Amino acid sequence: MRNQEAARYARWAAMAAGLIALVVVAIYAGRAISEARHRDIPARVAASVQRQMQTFSYNGMEKNRTIFTIRASRATQFKTGNSALLEDVWISIYGRDGNRNDNIHTSECSYAQETGAIQCKGAVKIDIQGANPSSGVPLEDSLHITTSNLEFDGQTGEASTPAPVEFSLPQGHGHGVGVSYSTRAAIVRIEHAVEFDMAASPKIGGLPLSIRAESLEVRRDDHKVLLAGPVIVRQGDRELSAGNVTISLDQKFHAQEALAEGHPTIRVSRSGDTFEASAATMEADLSPEGGIERIEARGNVTGSRQMAKGSSHFSSDRVDFSLEPARNVLRQMTAVGSVVAESQQSGVLQSLKTTALRLNFTPGTQPDQQRVSEAKTLGPSTILLRSPDDTTELRGPAFAVRFGENNHLAGLLGTNTEIRRISGHSAPQISTAQRLKASFSPDGQWSRVQETGDVKFQQGDRQASAQRAEVDRTEGQVILTGSPVISDSLSRTTAAKVTLDQKSGEFAAQGGVLSTYLPPHDKPVNATAEAAHIAAAQLSGSTSSGRVVYSGSARLWQGKSVLEADQIAISRNEKEMHASGNVIAVFPQTSGPGIVPVSQGKAPGPVLWEVRAPELTYSSDQAKANLLGGVRITSGQVSLGARAVEIDLLAGDSPASGGSSLPGGQLSRVVAEGDVVVRQGMLRATSEMATYTARDGKFVLSGGQPTITDASGNSTSGRSLTFFLPNDTILIDSQEGSRTLTKHRVEK
């Protein structure tokens, strides 16, 4: 959203309108020539023709009012023909209201007595001026015209010539071809090839100015000056072209308005930098002192700038410029209707689309420069920032933009905003918030965004929400605070603070982390098809690898299943979970015949097995949990200890997790290896391997030399020992054969 071209555009339009206005002021400023020059002009008389040879006088009348007077210091009547030769001829025009004192002067004219026609072959001078109505003193400025071959109609008061014309004002001089002057209609017209050059002055920017037009028409009674086109106004490296220009004057003949029509276009070319702006019409309001107060461009307003480093474009239905008349410098610009501003430099595109835009200007680094200090959109707006590998789009009902001293976008404020960002081939990132504050780097790219109030993020099926969010583009980092929540199709996490790395896909959460994992929607509802929850002090993970790590008193629970550890890591892609450090897990047992209640004296409930180990790994594909490093499993009066344990977890007859990576099923089978010890009440059994099956409620010990010992110290061994928990029996398989014992005694 570069703005230097806007400032130049407005300033040049204002300057051009002001210069044209100065021409009009010059044309109508004078009211009279020096009275001393005409002290010998006699008083007005009634309409008649004097045939005296020394003087000649004729009054053009309308409704008993003298419109003009023709005087000559000498008149020669010829013997043949009805004509006379007039010498030192003065034609003074007073107008219908007597408010003019214009004069036509030449050395010699021929006069036709029958028609009243006067023809002046030689050089003719025309002074367009007027006496001040209050004092009768001529005003300082007047328009002086020099031409030849002038014809004046004494009946109608019309003067004209097709000859070349020279004219001058205190501000400059010009020339054209042909002039006509209607004394009754008070219209002066230079017919063709009008060229006017103005000398440099502070009022016109300190540079000479030239105006070119097809014709120039001054309509005194209508208080208008018309320049017919093509009209070209040039000053230095600036140019204004238009089909025609109309200057409106106030009652004191000060320029009041300047209107350029016929696709007016402003062009500026400087050091390889080209600027162009156009509209259907351009209109300027002028102060009585001649300063520009306002400029309005209407109808298909466009602007473009071509630079070595890039280009910019602007379009709108209407643009208004407010200026400080004393200095003719831009103060404010307002664009309304289909506003589009684009700038592209070094591969970076900046674009603004809105219904209305207001720019405030402040002095630039140079005395004659203005720069945009701030901009405000006054309706629904879209801001687009696009680089080769990143596209960011901002939408909102209104934005306020702050600019730096080098005219670069420095800051942005918005309400009820939406940000849509696409980086590389990743899914679009969309965020919304009640309030937005953004800062920008010198290259025009946004560097940091702060969002507050009901902040929401979305990328694919991943979502996040918080009360506050801070986005760092350089680091590619998003920080969420104020009850942040991140979620996807299968999980939802809350914490005190969440950090997202948009470049790597890594994320972290701190403070009261709580995650909920939902069962897959395509799995049947069963005993374990319920949400799983994980709580921890902190969380870290990666969306690309699908791995998350909960640490700091991590706790997982799903239904009756519970898992606690120093750290719990979940790998979605591998469908695996790993818990380490002081692992404690509680799993419900699948139903079986005659399962012993958890405790006596209470209503029967599910059998729960508590598992303790340094490390646990769960694979959802196999629905197995593996524990290492010294394992202890207990349920009521039954316990099992071993170096390593494998637990099968089922949900009914199907894998408990339904494809997730969390161990949410029921314990159906346990396989223990290495220094196995099984206890039930006062009985103790040892072996190298033990297998427990929940369906029939039995332990099978094998490997090494399975041995069982009772409370009295009596023990027996066999190739395998089988505990039947429901019916209090033990099956011993030895070399002597198989036999069955009760749990109340052990035979040697």
Rounded CA separation 218/660 (Å): 89
Is residue 211, in this structure, part of any structural domain at all? no
Q: Based on the domain organization, do 455 and 572 belong to the same domain?
A: no
Question: Is residue 636 assigned to a domain?
Answer: yes
Domain final residue pick, 413, 445, 478: 478
Q: Of 329, 377, 382, give the one whose Cα is nearest residue 356.
A: 377
Q: Assess whether 586 and 659 both reside in one domain.
A: yes
Mean pLDDT by 10 residues, the chain (748 residues): 40 39 34 32 37 73 84 82 84 80 89 86 82 44 84 86 87 89 84 86 70 89 87 86 88 79 88 86 80 86 84 92 75 92 83 91 69 87 86 91 76 91 82 91 79 90 90 85 89 92 87 86 47 93 88 90 93 89 89 48 68 93 90 90 92 44 79 93 90 89 89 85 79 67 52
Task: Give yes or no for a contact between 620 and 640, defined as CB atoms under 8 angstroms apart.
Answer: no
Q: Could you tell me if 532 and 681 lie in one domain?
A: yes
User: What pairs with residue 705 in β-bridges?
Assistant: none
pLDDT of residue 168: 83
- The reported pTM is 0.68
Judge if 583 and 446 occupy the same domain: no
Are 573 and 707 part of one and the same domain? yes
The answer to the question of residue 41 being in a domain is: no
Asked if 453 and 508 sit in the same domain, the reply is no
Domain count, the chain: 2
- The DSSP result for 635-673, as a single string, is ETTEEEEESEEEEEEEETTEETTTT-SS--SEEEEEEEE
DSSP annotation of 533: E
606 and 705 within one domain:
yes
Q: How far apart are CA 564 and CA 584, in angstroms?
A: 5
The CATH number covering residue 669 comes to 2.60.450.10
The confidence score (pLDDT) of residue 137 equals 44
Does residue 634 form part of some domain? Answer: yes
334 found inside a domain: no
Does 721 lie in the same domain as 643?
Answer: yes
Which structural domain, as residue segments, surrounds residue 702? Answer: 500-742
- Residue 516 and residue 498 in contact, taking contact as beta carbons nearer than 8 Å: no
Q: Say if residue 418 is in the same domain as residue 507.
A: no
Cis bond before residue 325 (omega within 30° of 0): no
Whether 420 is in a domain gets the answer yes
In a domain, 65, yes or no: no
Residues 635, 598, single domain; the answer is yes
Predicted local confidence at residue 141, as pLDDT: 57
pLDDT, position 660: 57
Tokens of 602: 């209470």
Do 417 and 447 have their domain in common? yes
Q: What is the pLDDT of residue 16?
A: 39
- Residue 425's CB is within 10 A of a number of other CB atoms, namely 6
Q: Are residues 567 and 603 in the same domain?
A: yes
Does residue 222 lie in a domain region?
no
CA-CA distance, 362 to 370, in Å (whole number)? 6
The pLDDT value given to residue 656: 39
- Out of 478, 508, 524, a domain closes at 478
DSSP conformational letter for 131: B
Alpha carbon of 500 to those of 436, 484, 505, 512, 516: distances in Å? Answer: 18, 12, 7, 17, 19
